[in-house]
A = this chain, B = another copy of it.
Amino acid sequence: MPDLRIQDIRVTPIAFYDPPLLNNAGCHEPFALRSIIEVETEDGVIGLGESYGVQEMIAALNELAPHLVGMSVTNISGLRARAAQVVCGETTGYSGQEGLLPRVIGAIEVAMWDALGKATGQRVVDLLGGQVREDVPFAAYLFYKFKSHAGQTATDPWGEVLTPEQLVGEAQKMVDQFGFRALKLKGGILPVEDEMAGLEALHAAFPDAPLRIDPNGGWHVHTALNLLPRLTGMIEYLEDPTLGIEANAVVQAATEIPLATNMYVVAEKHLPPAIRQDAFRVILSDHHYWGGLMASRHLARICEIWGLSLGMHSNSHLGISLAAMTHLAAATPNLTYDCDTHYPWQTDEVIEGGKDAFRFENGCLTVPEGPGLGVTLDRSELKRLHQNYLDCGILTRNDRAEMQKHQPDWQFARPRY
């Protein structure tokens, strides 16, 4: 029988190229940060995890790691308990310790599942309760974007996207390459009429595509209420139109369009008030901030019990995260909507097989073959991307400051319109 005790945990921060994508908080920097977690058992089996790479996260992971040595990779409760003792957390970022803790737990928990799967010959999807779908559908994640990063002359491969025509071009390219069915527009950036023109252009060009818009809390309640008649019948859900649970509840009460969130129900403590106020009809889950795969299975069951729909959120990520998302989605019976993924925007990869390891067919992925998550580290790429991290000088994420490099007088505002 395998010895499942943890003998070592390694955390490697990496940086990979990210395009100048726009959101309500600013602009993506030239590099996105990520942490790669390796949990090695006494038998030498290595489980992989991938999560956020900002300084606070790397520090917390490194602080926690030695406290987990000797624990079984099955011991999720032990991980949670020790993380709660060790992770103090700054009050900056991630809404403080309360936000950092589930992120740290989730990062390591995924690697523990991968190790358990590899040690016992089981796929993670099976350990999570069994596969309920062969194909896991993902959506095109459409962004407004600048042509180049600030101070750079090189044009990003996806070019400038600021007009309805450019937006339809970006969507067409994504649909052609990946076969996505659903289209999600990141909003809350341009004036509302410009974004509505973009959305209407997408609807005209892709009349059968389920559409979504995510203003990231960027609209006032009155703006959202005024737009509801035009959005009704055009979008499948409206994501975080305005700020907070209370204000979104006002919008939800006024419309048959389901409101979705990945901003205001992002931890277990948000569920009781959000459910009590009927603020959202769709929870966009994310195992990276929800505390891992088992916590995400609990969340899915909660959504089923309370009649909430379920989708999946993403940040900029590489293949270990994509594998974990795919296993989780394949194990989740009540996944209602096609999952979000930033994956098409990324050009680097840290797993063997590179960007060819995952093949989207009609917007869908199948669960990787092989035990655990079914992916293995490309150590030369890990080394290169870690060097990127050391060289790029970025230690946290600051979309606001990056935006101000493009437009010095730009100010953050939420709601903005």
Query: For the complex, what is the distance from the CA of A268 to the CA of B303, rounded to whole Å?
Result: 11
B130–A72 contact, CB under 8 A?
yes
Whether A2 sits at the interface, judged by CB under 8 Å, is yes
B residues in contact with A121, CB < 8 Å: 1-2
**Main SS of chain A's interface residues?**
helix
A81, B129: Cβ atoms closer than 8 Å:
no
In the complex, identify which listed stretch (A199-207, A294-302, A385-393) lies at the interface while the others stay far away.
A294-302
Partner of A271, one of B2, B79, B127, B305: B305
A168: chain B residues at CB < 8 Å are: none
| Contact residues in B for A127 (Cβ distance below 8 Å) | 74
Interface residues as binary, A100-125 with B (CB distance below 8 Å gives 1, 0 otherwise): 00000000000000000000111000
A47 to B266, CA, bound (A): 38
Contact A120-B294, Cβ < 8 Å, known A75-B130, A77-B132, A333-B77 = no
Give residues 220-272 of A contacting B (CB, 8 Å): 268-269, 271-272
A122: which B residues are within 8 A, CB to CB? 1, 4, 74, 120
Cα(A44)–Cα(B1), bound, Å: 17
* Number of residues from A at the complex interface, CB < 8 A: 40
Cβ contact within 8 Å between A77 and B331? yes
Q: A4's closest neighbor in chain B, by CB?
A: B122
* A353 lies within 8 A of chain B by Cβ: no
Q: How far is the CA of A335 from the CA of B120 in the complex (A)?
A: 30
Is the Cβ of B126 less than 8 Å from the Cβ of A75? Answer: yes
Residues of B within 8 A of A96 (CB): none
CB <8 Å contact, B74 and A130: yes
Mark contacts of A1-35 with chain B using CB atoms, 8 A cut-off: 1 yes-contact digit, 0 otherwise. Answer: 11010000000000000000000000000000000
Does A78 have its Cβ within 8 Å of any Cβ on chain B? yes
**For residue A333, which residues in chain B have a CB less than 8 angstroms away from its CB?**
77, 80-81
Q: Which residues of chain B have C-beta atoms less than 8 A from A269's C-beta?
A: 305
User: Given A1-B121, A2-B121, A120-B120, are A272 and B130 neighbors across the interface (CB < 8 Å)?
Assistant: no
Q: Does A140 contact B (CB under 8 A)?
A: no
Q: How far is the CB of A133 from chain B (nearest CB, A)?
A: 10
Q: List 9 A-B contacts (CB under 8 A).
A: A1-B122, A4-B122, A74-B127, A75-B126, A77-B333, A81-B333, A268-B305, A272-B275, A272-B306
